[in-house]
Amino acid sequence: MNLRKIFTLYTVGFLGVTILLGLAEHFFDLPNRWIGWIFMGLSLGIYIVIGILTRTSDADQYYVAGRGVPAIYNGMATGSDWMSAASFISMAGTLSVQGFSGLAYVMGWTGGYLLLAVFLGPYLRQFGAYTIPDFLGARYGGNAARLVGVFSAILCSFTYLIAQVTGVGLIVSRFIGLDFNVGVFVGLIGVLFCSVLGGMRSVTWTQVAQYIILITSYLVPVVVLSWQLFSNPVPQLAYGKVLQLNNQSALAITRDPQEKATREIWKAEAAAADAKIKDPATSAEEKVKLTAASKTATTQAKAPAASDDATIGNYLTVPKGKGMWNFLALTFCLMVGTAGLPHILARYYTTPSVREARTSVGWSLFFIFLLYFTAPAYAAFARFSVFTKLVGSKVADLPSWVTLWKPAGLFDVVDKAGDGIVQLADFVIKSSDFVVLATPEIAGLPFVVTGLIMAGGLAAALSTADGLLLTIANGISHDLYYKVINPQATLVRRLTITKVFLIVTALIAAYVATFRLAIIVELVAWAFSLAGASFFPALVMGIWWKRTNKAGALAGMVTGLAVTLFYMIGSRFYGMSWFGTATVASGVFGLPLGFIVIWIVSLLTPAPDKATQDLVVSVRYPKSGSASAAINAGH
Amino acid sequence: MSELTEQQKKDYWRYNLRLTVILLAIWFVVGYLLSGLWAGELNKVSFLGFPLGYYMAAQGSLAIFVIEIAIYARLMNKKDLEYGIYEEAKK
């Protein structure tokens, strides 16, 4: 059977099972827990089977999937490699809460692919190495550049990995009711089976399967809602109307006297808490609690529209001044970071040719676009469901899911005014993740849709974890051990080391994840600035300017990384501020500096030898030089 | 396979550079001006029921990025054929 047939059958099969489960829920009252278990068991089972079927111990297969992945499948694999738990679970929520400013994520995480397409993807493929540090080592001669590359790759990938593992734990504990720590380890089985048995080859085909699950599950709830409301199956077109309806609701709620009264109660509560904080008799412990309470109360006291007679809600307002600077800076950091993340770049080593690498970047962005282009619609429909289904209903009639979701800590409904009616101000949002996870239930869709969302979230987290784990383990075994420590190592030994490090890294990540550090989410956003500032200048200059030499690249990578880290830590913990730039956008300083340093230091030091310069020129012309042959001969 | 002459190499690379610069210029205008600095002004115009500035940032720019990469891949792949520099796909 060919690939297309296999994946068509697979997609139809997956949809079929979902429909069957929906029927079983409708007619036989299949319990929710069961639906959760079936979705999890089924999807993990598929990933494990793919892992076993595609196992390999051939170097080319293990590191770069035999460079035989057709453009469209590499596009899907990149899509799920790229879209993490954050894209799937959190992005729509961020949009719903932040409004226009949140769009920096949508644009940043897509616009970066153009940079990847024109500056890096096809050239890296032509160069034909195994890993990104491998390219740095070959281009800049010697081990120094390679080691800086390994260090940055692990720095960017590891925090990102912990976030994925945390995502797996959350999903499993919320939907199946397993303990968070158990959930983390259950999820890891799915990841390790693939990467250990078949390296890049298994990871690639699992990621394709995961992409199909994640995109289906993201689209289903919004398409169904859009159809119910407007008889229009394309939510991306219909949601302009939803935005307008939401604005009307927001204005109505702002004017409503009952809502106003509830907001006043919150306001008084916030004031009371603030007064107590100022009281010197209050203990430090108490103060922390009061600060949190005051923050919640202040948020709840805020009206959804800026004023009674505003024609447009603040949801769509474009930021000005510093807000606009941060919006643009963040968009820029996310774009460049996207083009500098090693686990994504490595995917373009796996296509059969330069031509396919180019086409593949296009497919990647198309598949990612499908989800990101839906996210703002998802956010709008979620707000709409809250406004129309939740607000105004009787507290006594609240459906059971409200109580069921309580332990998950996403949101809370409190009858502040004691009037028995749910006001918007009674809906306390604790995590904007509720948008993707709970909207199907807020909107009254069957539980099978929620189960589908669970399978999708799991696929998103696991597929990204797969790619990251492999990047870290290959960095250690191929670049650090084989290329630097023991160049005589046999293939069997190298692969064994990779496998050991896959398991060790996964266990360390799972262990760190069990601490549930709040800082992790923030660190993930930082990874983009770090990747952008460390890799992007050295890779782009290395490909595009033959005069770039080892000294320049090293100085540029270290400066970019150091300046970015300096500003991150300074602005986050010590109140430093350059032009009012937010910590997430730290790369906006390190990145241009990295380029300038590479340029100046390269010019001040001797040019690279002729062979290296010829290599750089030959990479411009597909198959014209011996670049890839020369590099591969070393393996 | 025949080697490219110096002139051919120059032409091919110049074509690539020109295409890259044009695509990046569009990328900048769409991503940072229309969806960023000028979005406030554009919001006064309505498109498909959306304020245009918001629409560009939420959907329009994304679609344009996809189209840009598709154009890049298509034109460069065609150029490769024209110059006879491409690998036979491995079976």
Q: What CATH number is attached to the domain comprising A211? A: 1.20.1730.10
The two structure tokens encoding residue A190: 């799915």
Joined tokens for residue A82: 């790229």
Provide mean pLDDT across the span A188-196.
Answer: 83
Cβ–Cβ below 8 Å for A335 and B31: yes
The partner residue sitting opposite B53, judged by closest CB among A67, A118, A318, is A318
DSSP three-state, residue A429: strand
Reading the block at residue A569, the tokens are 């830590």
Domain span holding position A206: 31-231+323-378+448-633
Interface test with A, best of B54, B56, B75, B88 (most A CBs within 10 A): B54
Q: Using the 8-state DSSP alphabet, how is residue A2 labeled?
A: -
Best residue in A248, A327, A624, A626 to probe B by mutation, most B CBs within 10 Å? A624
CA angle A355, A360, A363 (to 5 degrees): 140
Pair A239, A226: CB distance under 8 Å: yes
Question: Does residue B87 carry a pLDDT above 80?
Answer: no
- Type of residue numbered A153: A
pLDDT interval class at A537 (50, 70, 90): very high
**pLDDT for A305:** 67
Q: What is the pLDDT confidence band of residue A626, given thresholds at 50, 70 and 90? A: very low
CB A290 within 8 A of CB A276: yes
Question: Closest Cα of chain B to A365: distance in Å?
Answer: 6
Mean pLDDT rounded to a whole number for chain A: 85
Are A480 and A176 in contact by the 8 Å Cβ rule? The answer is no
pLDDT of residue A306: 59
Q: Does position A181 have pLDDT exceeding 60, yes or no?
A: yes
pLDDT of residue A631: 45
Residues whose CB falls within 8 Å of the CB of residue A282, separated by 6 or more in sequence, listed in order: A276, A290
Beta strand spans in A363-487 (E): 411-413, 427-429
- The string of pLDDT tens digits covering residues A438-467 is 888 888 888 899 889 989 999 999 999 999
User: Where are the strands (E) in A481-608, listed by range?
Assistant: none
Judge whether residue B12 has pLDDT over 50. Answer: yes
Chain A partners within 8 Å of B50 (Cβ): 240, 243
Distance CA A246, CA A231 (A): 18
Half-sphere exposure of B43 (CA within 13 A, CB side): 19
Residue A321: closest C-alpha in chain B: B37
* Confidence class for position A417, pLDDT limits 50, 70, 90: confident
Question: Chain B contacts of A358, Cβ < 8 Å?
Answer: 72-73, 76-77
User: How close does chain B come to A457, measured CA to CA in Å?
Assistant: 22
Share of chain A above pLDDT 90, in %: 28
Alpha helices in chain B (DSSP H): 6-28, 39-42, 52-55, 61-83
Cβ-defined contact of B80 to A355 (cutoff 8 Å): yes
Could you list the beta-strand ranges (E) of A115-218: none
Burial label, A395 (beta-carbon count in 10 A; 0-12, 13-18, 19+): middle
Residue of B nearest to A104 (CA): B57
pLDDT at B49: 73
Kindly state the tokens that stand for A48.
């494990």
Quote the strand ranges of A349-388, DSSP E.
none
pLDDT of A308 strictly over 60:
no
Residue A295 lies in a domain: no
**Closest alpha carbon to B31 in A336, A579, A235:** A336
- Is residue A150 within 8 Å of residue A480, measured between CB atoms? yes
pLDDT tens for A253-282 read 888 888 888 888 888 888 888 888 887 777
Q: How confident is the model at residue A1 (pLDDT cuts 50, 70, 90)?
A: low
Q: How far is CA B5 from the centre of its chain?
A: 28
The shortest C-alpha distance from A184 to chain B (Å) reads 34
Helix (H, G, I), strand (E, B) or coil at B46: strand
A445: left (phi over 0), alpha (psi -120 to 50) or beta: beta
Out of A107, A352, A356, the one facing B35 most closely (by C-beta) is A107
Task: Give the minimum alpha-carbon distance from A428 to chain B in angstroms, rounded to a whole number.
Answer: 27
Instruction: Say if residues A531 and A125 touch (Cβ distance below 8 Å).
Output: no
Lowest-confidence pick of A23-37, A414-428, A436-450: A414-428
Query: Tokens 């502040």, residue?
Result: A416
Structure confidence at residue A508 (pLDDT): 92
- For the cut 50, the answer to whether the pLDDT of residue B24 exceeds it is yes
Q: Do the beta carbons of residue A190 and residue A164 sit within 8 Å?
A: no
- For residue B36, give the nearest of A119, A312, A324 by CB distance: A324
Report how far residue A412's alpha carbon sits from residue A300's, in angstroms, rounded to the nearest whole number: 12
Q: Is residue A202 part of a domain?
A: yes
Q: Smallest Cβ distance to B72: which of A103, A331, A358? A: A358
Residues 6+ away with beta carbon under 8 Å from A544: A119
Nearest to A103 among B4, B43, B57 (CB): B57
Q: What is the largest CA-CA distance in chain A?
A: 81
Alpha-carbon distance of B12 to A147, in angstroms, equals 35
Helix (H) / strand (E) element for B2: namely none
Sign of CA dihedral A472, A628, A592, A339: negative
Determine whether the interchain pair A358/B76 forms a contact, defined as Cβ–Cβ distance below 8 Å: yes
Helices (H) and strands (E) in chain A, counts: 27, 2
The answer to whether A422 and A413 are in contact (CB under 8 A) is yes
What is the pLDDT, as a whole number, of residue B5? Answer: 83
What is residue A427's three-state secondary structure? strand
Is residue A304 in a domain? no
Query: For residues A539 and A595, what is the distance between their CA atoms, to the nearest angstrom?
Result: 10
d(CA A110, CA A368): 7
pLDDT tens digits, A614-623: 888 888 888 7
Model ipTM value: 0.93
- Give the bridge partners for A394, in sequence order: A421
Cβ atoms A74, A364 nearer than 8 A: yes
A100, pLDDT greater than 70: yes
The amino acid sitting at A494 is R
Whether A24 maps to a domain, the answer reads no
| A624–B85 C-beta distance less than 8 A | yes
Closest-CA residue of chain B to A66? B90
> Is it the case that residue A116 has pLDDT exceeding 90?
yes
- Whose structure tokens read 């890096």? A120
Q: Are the CB atoms for A107 and B62 separated by under 8 Å?
A: yes
The pLDDT value recorded for residue A635 is 40
Chain centroid offset of residue A255 CA? 38
Highest mean pLDDT among A396-410, A491-505, A521-535: A491-505
Answer yes or no: is A301 within a domain.
no
Domain count, chain A: 1
The tens digit of pLDDT for each residue in B46-73 reads 877 778 888 888 889 999 999 999 999 9
pLDDT of residue A309: 53
CA distance A575 to A561: 20
Closest residue by Cα to residue A95 from A246, A306, A254: A246
User: What is the spatial distance between Cα A457 and Cα A463, in angstroms, rounded to a whole number?
Assistant: 10
pTM (predicted TM-score): 0.89
Q: Which residue of B has its CA nearest to A361?
A: B69
Token couple for A503: 């398991």
pLDDT of A556 strictly over 90: yes
Is it the case that residue B29 has pLDDT exceeding 90? yes
Confidence bin at A218 (pLDDT 50/70/90): very high
Higher-confidence residue of B30 and A433: namely B30
- Is the model more confident about A432 or about A608? A608
Q: Is residue A18 part of a domain?
A: no
Residue with tokens 């447009």: A312
The answer to whether the CB of A234 falls within 8 A of the CB of A262 is: no
Give the number of A-B residue pairs with CB atoms closer than 8 Å.
137
pLDDT of A578 strictly over 70? yes
The two tokens of residue A491 are: 């293939």
Nearest chain A Cα distance for residue B10, angstroms: 11
CA distance A494 to A485: 12
Cβ distance A369 to B63 less than 8 Å, yes or no, reads yes
Is the confidence at residue A361, as pLDDT, over 90?
A: yes
Is residue A405 over pLDDT 80?
Answer: no
pLDDT at B1 over 50: no
Cβ neighbours for A144, distance < 8 A, ≥ 6 positions apart: A550, A554
A 10 A CB-CB count for A586 gives 31
Please tell me whether residue B47 adopts helix, strand or coil conformation: strand
Chain B CB contacts of A622 below 8 Å? 80, 85-87
Tell me what percent of the residues of chain A surpass a pLDDT of 70: 95
Strands (DSSP E) found in A430-585: none
- Give the pLDDT score at A117: 93
Are the C-beta atoms of A98 and A314 separated by less than 8 Å?
Answer: no
Q: Are A87 and A215 in contact (CB under 8 A)?
A: no
- Closest to A261 measured CA to CA, from A428, A423, A427: A423
Cβ–Cβ gap A236/B59 under 8 Å = yes
- Single-letter code of the amino acid located at A129: A
Task: Give A266's DSSP letter.
Answer: H
**pLDDT band for position A629 (50/70/90)?**
very low
Residue A319 main-chain phi, psi, to 5 deg: -65, 155
Q: What angle do CA B12, B18, B22 make, to 5 degrees?
A: 145
Tell me, what DSSP letter sits at residue A394? B
**Mean pLDDT value across residues A65-69:** 88
Q: What distance in Å separates the CA atoms of residue B69 and residue A358, rounded to the nearest whole number? A: 8
Q: How far does the CA of residue A276 sit from the closest CA of chain B (Å)?
A: 41
Of B37, B70, B86, the CB nearest to A622: B86
User: Look-up: residue for tokens 């300096």?
Assistant: A566
